[in-house]
């Protein structure tokens, strides 16, 4: 579920988008905005990269082959704010 922030900084939970990332259905464990260009979502043992404008899935990375493992934290930083440096899982 993705929603947009309102002018006062609160999230609009009445106007949201529900994205199906595959079966079986599980909750997204963590979300990280990367360089204002992508949204990375930790989903089971994978990281899904979404375009926040189109809400389309761009790429999926498998974090580990262990299907019962879960991505629980995604951190991003960049020294130059270009959105290309410092992406870490």
Segment 35-53, tens digit of pLDDT: 878 999 998 899 999 998 8
Tokens of 4: 């947009």
Taking CA 26 as the corner, what is the angle to CA 62 and CA 51, rounded to the nearest 5 degrees?
Answer: 60
Highest mean pLDDT among 5-14, 17-26, 64-73, 80-89: 64-73
**Whole-number mean pLDDT of the chain?**
79
pTM over 0.95: no
Contacts of 5 by beta carbon, 8 Å cutoff, 6+ apart: 11, 12
Q: Which carries the bigger pLDDT value, residue 61 or residue 27?
A: 61
Distance CA 87, CA 5 (A): 24
pLDDT at residue 89, as a whole number: 46
């Amino acid at each position: 579920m993705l929603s947009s922030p309102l002018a006062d900084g609160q999230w609009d939970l009445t106007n949201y988008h529900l994205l199906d990332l595959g079966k079986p259905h599980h909750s997204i464990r963590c979300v990280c905005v990367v360089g204002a260009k992508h949204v990375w979502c930790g989903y089971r043992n994978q990281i899904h990269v979404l375009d926040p404008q189109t809400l389309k899935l761009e790429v999926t990375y498998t974090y580990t082959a262990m299907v019962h493992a879960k991505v629980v934290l995604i951190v991003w930083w960049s020294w130059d704010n270009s959105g290309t440096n410092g992406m870490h899982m």
